[in-house]
Amino acid sequence: MTSAEVVGSRPSRRARARLLVPLDGTAASSTELTRALRDAVRQDGSVLACAVVGPRVDDVERAQIRTALEAQVAEVVADTGVHGRTEVALLDAVVFEALCGVGRGGTLVVVQQNRRTVLRSAPPREPVRPIVRHA
């Protein structure tokens, strides 16, 4: 039961957080996946662990890359104990660069059947200072 159901209000229509983590078989990328899994638990979200592949990769290489990706994810999931929050995918380099462009200040427009969604990088937030009240 969600908190919205407990209080009797409508559940949020906003999609849950999804963390995109590119993996390349290194210890550094495994560390990033570990951090992302912990963040996903805190945010009630999920992690999309991906391997970025080029356009000239054939089916045999794709299968090998996917097997290595799944093995790396399984190892990190076993280490963290966070199950059920991870998906794996092979991502074309062009798509990955388009997504990363948003993080660098670019704009990505997703054109769907009846609507367009504009994705932009959020401006950095100023740290909020607590209000000090003198007694």
Domains of the chain: 20-109 (3.40.50.620)
The confidence score (pLDDT) of residue 40 equals 92
Cβ neighbors of 108 (< 8 A, separation 6 or more) are 98, 99, 101, 102, 118, 119, 120
- DSSP labels for 59-111? HHHHHHHHHHHHHHHHHHHHHH---S-EEEEEEEHHHHHHHHHHHTT-EEEEE
pTM for this one? 0.73
CA distance linking residue 87 with residue 73, whole number of Å? 9
Q: What is the pLDDT of residues 34-91, one digit of tens each?
A: 999 999 999 899 999 999 999 899 999 999 999 999 999 999 999 998 888 899 999 9
The confidence score (pLDDT) of residue 122 equals 73
> Does pLDDT of 6 surpass 80?
no
> Does pLDDT of 3 surpass 70?
no
Tell me what the pLDDT averaged over the chain comes to: 86
Sorting pLDDT into bands at 50, 70 and 90, what band is 106?
confident
